[in-house]
Structure 1
Amino acid sequence: MSFVRDKLSSKFFFFLVFAFLLIHVPIIGNYVKIINTLIHESGHALIALFSGNVERISLFMNSEGATYSNQSTWIGSFFTSLAGYTFASFMAFLSFLLIGRKYHILLIDILLGFIFLNLIFWVRNPYGIFWLCSFAAVFLLLLIKGSKGLRDHLLIMIASIMLVDSVQSSYEIFYLSLVEPHAAGDAENLTQLTHMPAPIWGSFFFLQALWFCYYGLKRGYYKIQN
């Protein structure tokens, strides 16, 4: 039993380290990181629908994204600005939770749902459409042709990328909020809405990412072992 646990521990650690290294590889890293960008921008869009409308979402080759929406209320603008990083962190946590509980097909369905939702309603820029179609093709091929082992390992890899990048991107916004507040994206938007300094919102984004990371690893890791 100890040998099995050690093997699983090493495997789990390997996926996290490999995900961290992969997202820093030129070109390929930006491509795979867009899965986290997609979830981030979808979080903005889904909340924006409650008090306004979403014009479009753009996904860019450098792994960045943008959501263009119109809000009719202050509270709508506030929660829309708050949603991106928190939703991305939550989805990384949820991915590990579902993997730990052996709900691999459900996780694939959720990710496909986000892809097709964006492809049908929001994403219109050429690279964004290319990315959505290529990623959707991988998932569909996984469902139709992939072995259970390949499917499970690929999902752990994708969940690891989402988790690692959600923490890294939250740290980056935290750092920007300290050294260049006016370039701190969502933290700066929240500063304009609340008049609270950008570092407060940058700290919030980073701390919530760490919290979801800890519980995502805890739920996924221990359930995968048992």
Structure 2
Amino acid sequence: MVLVTAGLALAIVFWNASWRPARNVVTIVHEAGHAVVALLAGRRLSSIRLHSDTSGVTVSRGRTEGPGMVCTALAGYLAPSVLGLVFAALLLGDRVGTVLIVCAALLLGVLVMIRNLYGVLSLVITGGVLFAVSWLATAEVKAAFAYLITWFLLVGGVRPVFELQRKRRRGQARDSDADQLHRLTGAPGLFWVAVFAAINTGALAIASAWLLLP
């Protein structure tokens, strides 16, 4: 089951036809990462928007510079991989139910702050799938679904980083998280893309060792 769900997650992420709709899930977690860290940093969360091109925007109020703003900007691209690593640790302890509960809590938290129709639709569809599996599926299907979510977040957290750099190279992402971090810290945007890539691939490697090695 672990190998099959890993292979399925890879197929979803690297097949463009499936990646486009599935990427909405990564965007939900990305924006949730911004939102959670903004609240932890003492900022005031205003709104979250999810767009049909799979982009998203999280607006928070507070200081426009300083460690809190840096951490908030940093959190988005790291959130899917970090959450996937947490889920991998939970699955090691056979805590399938906890994985599904965390997913439900995350969707509910984002839904409270969503401010556009497409965002609501994305969350309702995602939540509907989660509800169906949680309440109607057998224990084996729930476990397979939890593993699939985990692998998808881990692998799906890596691809957007490389997509980001391609857009930056073409001048199409001038207000990306990496470029915001450049303006906040002075470190080049490419440095922050490398940080995203290193942490996310590291999370994938660690989780793979946990789940695949005896």
Flag whether TM exceeds 0.5 (same fold). yes
Determine whether 1:194 maps to 2:154.
no
Percent sequence identity over aligned pairs: 20
Residue number in structure 1 paired with 2:12: 22
- 1:68 partner letter: V
Determine whether 1:110 maps to 2:102.
yes
Q: Does the 8 A contact of 1:93 with 1:217 survive in 2?
A: no
TM-score (norm 1): 0.84
Runs of 5+ consecutive residues of structure 2 not aligned to the other structure: none
Q: Aligned match of 2:120 in 122, 129, 148?
A: 129
**Residues 204-219 of structure 1: matches in 2 within 5 Å?**
204-219=195-210
**What secondary structure does 1:183 align onto?**
coil
Q: Does the 8 A contact of 2:3 with 2:212 survive in 1?
A: no
Q: Aligned match of 2:87 in 95, 115, 139?
A: 95
- Counterpart CA distance in 2 for 1:33 and 1:150 is 22
The CA RMSD measured in Å over matched residues stands at 2.1
Residue number in structure 2 paired with 1:5: none
- Counterpart CA distance in 2 for 1:184 and 1:65 is 12
- Counterpart CA distance in 1 for 2:103 and 2:3 is 23
Runs ≥4 in structure 1, deviation > 6 angstroms? none
Kindly provide the CA deviation profile for residues 123-160 of structure 1, in whole angstroms up to 9, marking residues without a partner as x: 12111111211222222222222101111112212222
Residue number in structure 1 paired with 2:71: 79
C-alpha displacement of 1:74: 1.9
- 1:217 partner letter: S
Residue number in structure 2 paired with 1:7: none
Greater gyration radius: 1
**What secondary structure does 1:46 align onto?**
helix
- Counterpart CA distance in 2 for 1:182 and 1:135 is 27
- Counterpart CA distance in 1 for 2:31 and 2:101 is 18
TM-score (norm 2): 0.89
- Counterpart CA distance in 2 for 1:63 and 1:155 is 23
Q: Does the 8 A contact of 2:5 with 2:148 survive in 1?
A: yes
- Counterpart CA distance in 1 for 2:120 and 2:170 is 34
C-alpha displacement of 1:182: 5.4
Residue number in structure 2 paired with 1:64: 55
Q: Does the 8 A contact of 2:164 with 2:173 survive in 1?
A: no
- Counterpart CA distance in 1 for 2:105 and 2:88 is 18
Kindly provide the CA deviation profile for residues 54-87 of structure 1, in whole angstroms up to 9, marking residues without a partner as x: 2111122232221112222522211111111222
After TM superposition, the structure 1 stretch with the greater mean CA deviation from structure 2, 179-188 or 202-211, is 179-188
**What secondary structure does 1:190 align onto?**
helix
Report how many aligned residue pairs link the two structures: 211
